[in-house]
Homo-oligomer: A and B are copies of this chain.
Amino acid sequence: MDWETLAAELSQTTDTRIVLLVMDGLGGLPVDGATELETARTPNLDALARDAVCGLTDPVLMGITPGSGPAHLSLFGYDPLRHRLGRGILEALGSGVEVGRDDLVARGNFATLRDGRIVDRRAGRIPTEENVRICKFLNDNLPKRDGIAVSLFPGREHRFVARFTAPDLSDALSDADPQKEGRPPQPAAALAPEARDTAEVVNRFLDDAARLLEKEPKANAALLRGFSRFPSIPSMTDLFRLRPAAIAGYPMYKGLARLLGMTVLETGEKTSDLFDTLEARFQEHDFFYIHYKKTDSAGEDGNFAAKTAAIEEMDAFIPRLRALKPDVLVVTSDHSTPSLLKGHSWHPNPFLLHAATAGKDDVDIFTERACAGGILGRFLSMRAMPLMLAHALKLTKYGA
């Protein structure tokens, strides 16, 4: 029996509450002998670690660097090697674009085309209002060919989401994006025989858009990448009998949460907003996913000091979390983002679980190295969900 079948069989709804705080990209590497987490002053996280059990998690497999999609899927209890999500679908859902069973979506950029070559892949980062105007113009004027509906949804600056609606579209397509400037536009290519018709649909759209945008000074071409159809993935309610909620600011994470059936709660952009929202809605759900982006952003920028500061900023909110007395409180990351590497990495995530049913181990500070000595050992992130459910007494016995 696989884990998803087992989960559906053993999960039960209870009154207990789980809070999963994801400090995106938290794990790091030493610079001058200490990681960002070791350098940060974190009295509240350390106190929590002393009252909790700790370990280290691998998002996919040891050595594998995950994108945000697989890293989060794993934390939510899904096997990231079984379920693969296209970037387009995450972007679409995160932007609030509704995606159904007959839809194919892709991430789009407006770009500048000169003499047959893409000279600026971001069309000079046109203002968002320009983007809104251009998307509306295209939606109103694109010819509808063969009954296939195409809709564009503006994002920030030059970014948009494209949605094609028709039965039997395929997402086995290469990106319609030359990736580098100075090259001609690149049509989408079918990566499987059944995608040939879809490639034609997409490339006709790109031609239509370029023709309609001919007079635009900057945004006179469109690029598309990350083609994806709506994936078939069971919801967290189906699998775990949860009423889950997400508190996240960025489209990508909201999109992923919607895909898994979480209610996305409205929140603001400040770190304190995450906790205001949690406190206001704490009675309505039994699983809360809180996403904190700053740690990852600083790591991606290679900014050790900013990442350290982001950790300290979050540390100050830990008492507010504990004051709510969730039955299970987990603090961890989806993947590591060492400032040293300026990007996601394969290094394991520090993991801390606090619950009345968990006891304590000997870990007395919350760092990568200290967590290595925790009672949970080193485990796959996808095992975090059964652990959280168990500590919340949401899993019944397996077998007699």
Binding site for B on A (CB under 8 A): 1-3, 6, 10, 29-30, 35, 56, 60-70, 80-82, 84-87, 90, 226, 340-341, 344-346, 348, 357-362, 368-369, 372-379, 383, 385-391, 395-400
Is A65 touching B376 in the complex (CB atoms < 8 A)? no
A361 to B347, CA, bound (A): 13
Query: Which of A6, A30, A84, A359 counts the most B-chain CB atoms under 10 A from its CB?
Result: A359
A236 to B264, CA, bound (A): 45
Is B386 touching A226 in the complex (CB atoms < 8 A)? no
| A377 interface neighbour in B69, B90, B377, B390, Cβ under 8 Å | B377
Is A379 touching B378 in the complex (CB atoms < 8 A)? yes
Q: Using known A-B contacts A374-B372, A375-B56, determine if residue A65 contacts B398 with beta carbons closer than 8 Å.
A: yes
Is A357 touching B62 in the complex (CB atoms < 8 A)? no
> What is the minimal beta-carbon distance from A221 to any residue of chain B, in angstroms?
23
A236 to B194, CA, bound (A): 32
Is A369 touching B378 in the complex (CB atoms < 8 A)? no
Question: How many copies of this protein are present in the complex?
Answer: 2
Q: Using known A-B contacts A359-B30, A369-B361, determine if residue A398 contacts B63 with beta carbons closer than 8 Å.
A: no
> What is the minimal beta-carbon distance from A198 to any residue of chain B, in angstroms?
20
Is B375 touching A90 in the complex (CB atoms < 8 A)? no
A226 to B3, CA, bound (A): 23
Interface pairs (6), CB distance under 8 Å: A1-B81, A6-B64, A6-B81, A63-B386, A66-B398, A378-B378
Contacts A1-B82, A29-B357 aside, 18 further interface pairs with beta carbons under 8 A come to A1-B81, A29-B359, A30-B359, A63-B383, A63-B386, A63-B387, A63-B391, A64-B390, A65-B398, A68-B400, A85-B399, A226-B400, A344-B397, A345-B357, A362-B369, A362-B373, A369-B375, A378-B379
A80 to B398, CA, bound (A): 10
Is B61 touching A386 in the complex (CB atoms < 8 A)? yes
Is B375 touching A368 in the complex (CB atoms < 8 A)? yes
> What is the minimal beta-carbon distance from A383 to any residue of chain B, in angstroms?
4
Is B399 touching A346 in the complex (CB atoms < 8 A)? no
Is A376 touching B375 in the complex (CB atoms < 8 A)? no
A360 to B32, CA, bound (A): 12
Q: Please name all residues of chain B whose beta carbon is closer than 8 Å to the beta carbon of A66 when the two chains form the complex.
A: 397-399
Is B369 touching A60 in the complex (CB atoms < 8 A)? no
Q: Please name all residues of chain B whose beta carbon is closer than 8 Å to the beta carbon of A377 when the two chains form the complex.
A: 56, 372, 377-378
Q: Please name all residues of chain B whose beta carbon is closer than 8 Å to the beta carbon of A80 when the two chains form the complex.
A: 398-399
Is A67 touching B398 in the complex (CB atoms < 8 A)? yes
Q: Please name all residues of chain B whose beta carbon is closer than 8 Å to the beta carbon of A397 when the two chains form the complex.
A: 65-67, 344
Q: Using known A-B contacts A359-B30, A361-B372, A377-B372, determine if residue A400 contacts B63 with beta carbons closer than 8 Å.
A: no
